[in-house]
Structure 1
Amino acid sequence: MAKKTVATLQTGSKKLTKVIKMVKSPKSGAYVFEEKVLGADDVDSFLKK
């Protein structure tokens, strides 16, 4: 199933990218990671937030 999902993402009309961003948690002070699958156009706006 995983191979089929990956193949579906690659053959779509949009190129998708997995973005991982490190953010400091206001509650505990520890660093946490935010992961999202975005279109190539939205990557810069996600990283600037």
Structure 2
Amino acid sequence: MAKKVVATLKVAGGKDWAKVIRAVKSPKTGAYTFREEMVPVDKVQEFIASGTK
């Protein structure tokens, strides 16, 4: 997984993105899973506040 992020950052526009990791609780089991997504830096706060994709 890390190789993809490093490769993305080597591109000219790669630094304009941030990796966001969010804990999501399963309604069925109650267990938490983690979702990783690449989001534009200027949209990170909006993405976190939204709660869903």
Same fold (TM over 0.5): yes
Distance in 2 (CA, whole Å) between partners of 1:41 and 1:33 is 22
Larger Rg: 1
Distance in 2 (CA, whole Å) between partners of 1:26 and 1:15 is 34
What is the root-mean-square deviation in Å for CA atoms of aligned residues?
2.3
Superposed counterparts of 1:1-49, under 5 Å: 2=3, 5-6=7-8, 7-8=10-11, 11-12=12-13, 15-48=16-49, 49=51
Distance in 1 (CA, whole Å) between partners of 2:15 and 2:32 is 31
Higher RCO (CA-CA < 8 Å; seq separation 6+): 1
If the length of structure 1 is used for normalisation, what is the TM-score? 0.71
The amino acid that maps onto 1:17 is A
If the length of structure 2 is used for normalisation, what is the TM-score? 0.67
Report percent identity of matched pairs: 41
Q: Which segments of 5 or more consecutive residues in structure 1 lack a partner in the other structure?
A: none
